[in-house]
Amino acid sequence: MPARPAGWTPHAPAHRPGAHTRAGNAMNRTRAGLLEGAARAIAGSGLRRSTMQSVAAAAGVAKATLYNHFRTKDEVVRALLAAELDRLAAVAAGLPPAAALGALADEVAGHPVLRRLAADEPEALTALLAAAPDRWGEVTGRLAEALRTDAATAEVVARWLVGVVLQPGEPAGRAAAAGRLAALLDAVAPPS
């Protein structure tokens, strides 16, 4: 978080009709904190051994608070995946293709939840990566939007990123592969 200037004091946000209320913002912050706790719990204990109690404890909230937002661990995991997709799309957005691919590869290669699952629960990781066709279409569509490319290119990139999750390799190798993939995709890009 950027440093604030000396003497800075927060001001209450002005309420605009149709804008989120303070309560709505608090709910969003709580939900974000719960998902961060879920990521910590799963990275620490794995998916199977993480419980709603361990997620609540990692988030620093009562279990009842967690249940106010999510009814099951599967719901928590789905929300965590959706939030991570949003975060990854934001990482790639606006970057040149090679830099975007490199950043995405580094993010998925070093993601603590993915690394934990790869080491201890490869079957759970495989299940997460084997998205249903509609879910895969959503992932590739969001990737196409973030990379400002077409669906076929996003499909190739998504499949490469799944490979990076399964076999992350070294940072220099990922950067070289990202550059090469960006060049190949640029060479075969359909005319605009």
pLDDT in tens, 81-138: 889 989 999 999 989 999 999 999 999 999 999 999 999 999 988 888 887 888 889 8
Over 80: is that where the pLDDT of 171 sits?
Answer: yes
Residue 173 placed within a domain: yes
> Residue 182, Cβ neighbours under 10 Å: how many?
19
Residue 98 placed within a domain: yes
Residue 146 placed within a domain: yes
Residue 167 placed within a domain: yes
Over 70: is that where the pLDDT of 191 sits?
Answer: no
Identify the pLDDT of residue 9: 41
Residue 147 placed within a domain: yes
Identify the pLDDT of residue 5: 44
Residue 20 placed within a domain: no
pLDDT in tens, 123-138: 988 888 887 888 889 8
Identify the pLDDT of residue 129: 82
Residue 16 placed within a domain: no
Over 80: is that where the pLDDT of 38 sits?
Answer: yes
Over 70: is that where the pLDDT of 23 sits?
Answer: no
Residue 1 placed within a domain: no
* Angstrom distance (rounded) from CA 104 to CA 91: 7
One DSSP character per residue, 45-95 reads H-TTT--HHHHHHHHTS-HHHHHHH-SSHHHHHHHHHHHHHHHHHHHHTTS
Identify the pLDDT of residue 82: 87
Q: How confident is the model at residue 22 (pLDDT cuts 50, 70, 90)?
A: low
Question: CB neighbours of 177 closer than 8 A, spacing ≥ 6?
Answer: 105, 160, 169
Query: What is the domain count for the chain?
Result: 1
* Angstrom distance (rounded) from CA 69 to CA 72: 10
Domain of residue 125 covers 74-187
More confident residue, 91 or 12: 91
Q: What is the rounded average pLDDT of the residues 52-80? A: 94
pTM: 0.78
pLDDT in tens, 129-167: 887 888 889 889 999 999 888 999 999 999 999 999 999
